[in-house]
Chains A and B, each alone.
Chain A
Amino acid sequence: KAGVTQTPRYLIKTRGQQVTLSCSPISGHRSVSWYQQTPGQGLQFLFEYFSETQRNKGNFPGRFSGRQFSNSRSEMNVSTLELGDSALYLCASSLSSGLQETQYFGPGTRLLVL
Chain B
Amino acid sequence: QQQVKQSPQSLIVQKGGISIINCAYENTAFDYFPWYQQFPGKGPALLIAIRPDVSEKKEGRFTISFNKSAKQFSLHIMDSQPGDSATYFCAANPSNTGNQFYFGTGTSLTVIP
Contact = CB atoms under 8 A, between A and B. Distances in A.
Interface in A29-73: 31, 33, 35, 40-45, 48, 50, 55-56, 58
Contacts of A40: 105
Contacts, number: 68
B22 to A, nearest CB: 15
Nearest to B46: A102
Given A105-B43, A105-B45, A50 B98 contact: yes
A43 B103 contact: yes
Contacts of A108: 43
A56 to B, nearest CB: 4
Identify whether the interface residues of B are mostly helix, strand, loop, or mixed: loop
Contact of A98 (B2, B36, B96, B103): B96
Contact of A42 (B42, B46, B98, B105): B105
A44 B2 CA distance: 9
A42 B93 contact: no
B69 interface: no
B109 to A, nearest CB: 15
Contacts of A90: 43-44
B44 to A, nearest CB: 5
A94 B32 CA distance: 15
Interface string A76-99: 000000000000001010100110
B41 interface: yes
B99 A92 contact: yes
Contacts of A42: 2, 6, 89, 103-106
Contacts of B99: 31, 33, 48, 50, 55-56, 92, 94, 97-98, 103
Contact of A48 (B6, B98, B105): B98
A99 to B, nearest CB: 9
Interface string B10-40: 0000000000000000000000100010000
Interface of A: 4, 31, 33, 35, 40-45, 48, 50, 55-56, 58, 90, 92, 94, 97-98, 100, 102-108
In the A-B complex, the 3 residue pairs with the closest CB atoms: A105-B43, A43-B103, A42-B105
